[in-house]
Amino acid sequence: MSEGSQDVPDRIRCPRCEREDVAPVGFAPFPNELGERVKAEVCQDCWEEWKKHQMLLINHYGLNLQDTNARQFLITNMTSFLFSEGPAGASIDTSQEGSISWEGSQ
45 versus 71: smaller Cβ distance to Zn ion? 45
Among 9, 11, 17, 100, binds Zn ion (CB under 5 A): 17
Q: Which residues pair with 43 in a beta bridge?
A: 24
User: Could you say whether residue 43 binds Zn ion (CB under 5 A)?
Assistant: yes
38 binds Zn ion (CB under 5 A): no
Give CA–CA dist 2/82, Å, rounded.
27
CA–CA dist 70, 62 (Å, integer): 9
Number of residues engaging Zn ion in binding (CB under 5 A): 5
Compute the distance between CA of residue 96 and CA of residue 93 in angstroms, rounded to an integer: 6
Using alpha carbons, select from 73, 68, 78, 72 the residue that is nearest to residue 46.
78
Task: Verify binding: residue 14, Zn ion, rule CB under 5 A.
Answer: yes
Return the residue of 8, 12, 38, 46 that touches Zn ion, per CB under 5 A: 46
- Catalog residues that contact Zn ion under the rule CB under 5 A: 14, 16-17, 43, 46
